[in-house]
Amino acid sequence: MATASDLHRLALALPGTTDAPHFDRTAFKVARTYVTLAADKRTANFKFTPDEQELKCTVAGDAFAPVPNAWGKQGWTTATLAKLSVPELKVALAMAHAHALPKKKARKPN
Question: How far apart are alpha carbons 57 and 72 in whole angstroms?
Answer: 12
> At 25, phi and psi to the nearest 5?
-120, 175
Question: How far apart are alpha carbons 56 and 31 in whole angstroms?
Answer: 24
Q: Summarize the confidence of residues 96-109 as an average pLDDT.
A: 79
Structure-model confidence comparison of residues 102 and 106, the more confident one: 102
Question: How far apart are alpha carbons 47 and 77 in whole angstroms?
Answer: 6
What does pTM read for this prediction? Answer: 0.91
Q: Summarize the confidence of residues 68-78 as an average pLDDT.
A: 96
Q: How many CB atoms lie within 10 A of CB 30?
A: 17
Determine the pLDDT at residue 104: 74
Residue 29 pLDDT > 60: yes
Determine the pLDDT at residue 106: 54
Question: How far apart are alpha carbons 79 and 59 in whole angstroms?
Answer: 13
| Angle of CA points 14, 19, 22, to nearest 5° | 135
Side chain identity, residue 50: P
Domains (range + CATH), the chain: 4-100 (3.90.1150.30)
